[in-house]
Amino acid sequence: MEQILNILIADDNPSDRILLKAILSQFGHNVISAVDGQDAVEKFDPDTIQLVCLDVKMPRKDGWEAALEIQRAAGDLFVPIIFLSGVADPIALSNCLRIGGTDFISKPYSPALITAKLNAIVRLLVMQKTLEEQRDAMSLYNEQLVHDQNVAKVVYENITHSNCLKDPALSTVHYGTHTFNGDVILAAYKPNGGMHLLLGDFTGHGLSAAIGALPLADIFFDWTKKGFLMRQIIPEINARLKSILPANMFCSAAFIDIKVNNKSIDIWNGGLPDLLFFSQQSKVPVRFESKNLPLGILPPDVFECQIDPVTFVPGNRLVVFSDGVYEAQDKSGAMFCHSVLNPLYEGEIADDQALDWMVEQLTQEGVLENPHDDISCLSIRLDSNIGIESHDHGVPTSHHEAPADFSFEYVLNADSLRNTDPLPYVLQIITTVPGLSSFSSQVFMILSELYSNALEHGVLGLKSDKKSSSDGFSQYYDEREQRLAALKDGFVKISVKVTSSDNERVLALYVEDSGSGFDYQNVNFDMSSSELLYNRGLALLDQLCHKLEFCKGGRGVTAYYHWQVGQDD
């Protein structure tokens, strides 16, 4: 800043005014003179005047009155005001400072004293100018930061909110401590019915915590849409987070796979509080504790999925919540998990009121007024219709479908059966057929049912009647994993053929296994007559397909699926 100032001086005494102007001009400053307070107010320009010197006693408008009007005209600008006085009254001088004066100069004027005071004023103005520049820079930086956060938030919400959270079976509660929430709740319909859900809690808060949710959500939605299984998606998410997150960052999460075909759910808990399963069989909810490390900690070669399977009947409910609830503190300083949540764990709270009850407790204990952690809760009313009628796949129907005729065959030996799931890849090829992508949900359901039957009953020799109880259901899948891990021989062959005729298209799915077959002639295809938890797959296929054909003693089956050009699903 230049030390040459534009100075406005006001004094009704001509000799004093001329003398002061001469002294200030001698130092090189630009001086504008006013004959009294009113004249000073009229000549004050906040854009050019950097210092004002006012005599205290002047006609028309004294120095104090003029100072107040000049300060109002200056607004947010800092313009120092120095009062000029020939009196030594302490009250009068203190009044100069009280109304905002920076200093005062006593008459008669001393050039040495004026020089010292002007140097102090210059230093003050330089400091003020520096502060204003820093303030403006901070303001610009803050505006840019808010803009960047808004853009990032839109991208974040576009990715993480590709949800089916509005499904009537779901209820959620979400409170964030920052613009970005380190918690995430994801839900996606599966191609074959049912739903995948994930409640995740990243370490930390705000934008840094939310960044990890982007790859997590991307994999979750993309892989679910393609038909990958929960036990395939979780390791992929873990590997991705492990590769990109810093060492001190991870995601505690619960992954739930709702399987409507056999009315069961698979639960994977990695570091979240116990999931609560409410059923009519017990007043106290079943707790599913964490059996896995959070996502993003273990390298892929040592990562394992410990999954809890459980059967359900319509109306059962699963409740999940993050550490923001579990570790919240009540007014006495006790953690919720040791005090407030006990009635919920002991079954004293109705399952359909669990979320409302938790919000009420968080409010009463003052947690929501000043949350120290992001808070997320999820309640799932389990039902066999979840995802069945979904139109969430977003694939437009083509009314100008080109005819297609092709076939391919896919044979999986024991090694392939142990280590791969062919269904997402087969489905991707099938849905390249013009118009068939609109029916990917039904096609995937047919394909997955045929493949599961071939693998589990044909190759592995498992019996469905083991799934007649909740315990048996869990034992069935434990035995499935054991037999699959020990599999040395066997195969499953998948043949796909698409034919076109006029406006009608036919998809023929043939699946053959190396098992011993079964008595297909006595299969009951009436789904409404069965109350069992199992043996509903073939009845479902019979409803979805135009025709089912068995061969080779039940080791092979062909499912014919018809659709027409321009037909909507």
**pLDDT tens, 510-557?**
999 999 988 888 777 765 554 544 556 777 788 888 999 999 999 999
Query: How much is the pLDDT for 353?
Result: 93
Same domain, 112 and 178: no
Burial of residue 472 (CB within 10 Å: 0-12, 13-18, 19+) is middle
Does 154 fall in a domain?
no
Does 396 fall in a domain?
no
Contact (CB, 8 A) for 18 and 47:
no
Same domain, 285 and 373: yes
Q: How many domains does the chain have?
A: 3
Residue 16's CATH number: 3.40.50.2300
Question: Does 287 score more than 60 pLDDT?
Answer: yes
Split at pLDDT 50, 70, 90, the class of 564 is confident
Does 273 fall in a domain?
yes
Does 136 fall in a domain?
no
Same domain, 59 and 187: no
Contact (CB, 8 A) for 399 and 565:
yes
Same domain, 342 and 456: no
Task: Taking residues 195-207, report their average pLDDT.
Answer: 85
Residue showing tokens 């949710």: 213
Residue 299's CATH number: 3.60.40.10
Q: What is the mean pLDDT of the chain?
A: 84
Q: How far apart are the first and last CA of the chain?
A: 74
Pairing of strands 103-106, 81-85: parallel
What is the per-residue pLDDT across 395-410, written as a single tens digit (0 to 9) for each?
444 445 566 688 888 8
**Buried/exposed code over 455-465 (b: 16+ C-beta within 10 A; e: otherwise):** bbbbbbebebe
Structure tokens at 166: 């509005």
Q: Give the up-direction half-sphere exposure of residue 331: CA atoms within 13 A in the CB hemisphere.
A: 6
Domain of 477? Answer: 406-563
What is the per-residue pLDDT across 225-263, written as a single tens digit (0 to 9) for each?
888 889 889 999 999 999 988 888 899 999 999 988 778
Contact (CB, 8 A) for 252 and 272:
yes
CA gap 56, 548 in Å, rounded: 107
Same domain, 290 and 336: yes
Residue 511's CATH number: 3.30.565.10
Query: How much is the pLDDT for 569?
Result: 47
Same domain, 419 and 542: yes
CA gap 484, 459 in Å, rounded: 9
Same domain, 167 and 300: yes
Structure tokens at 337: 């998990």
Query: How much is the pLDDT for 23?
Result: 85
Question: Does 211 score more than 50 pLDDT?
Answer: yes
Same domain, 95 and 203: no
What percentage of the chain has pLDDT greater than the value 70?
A: 90
Question: Does 315 score more than 80 pLDDT?
Answer: yes
Split at pLDDT 50, 70, 90, the class of 84 is confident
Split at pLDDT 50, 70, 90, the class of 155 is confident
Same domain, 378 and 459: no
Same domain, 225 and 348: yes
Query: How much is the pLDDT for 395?
Result: 45
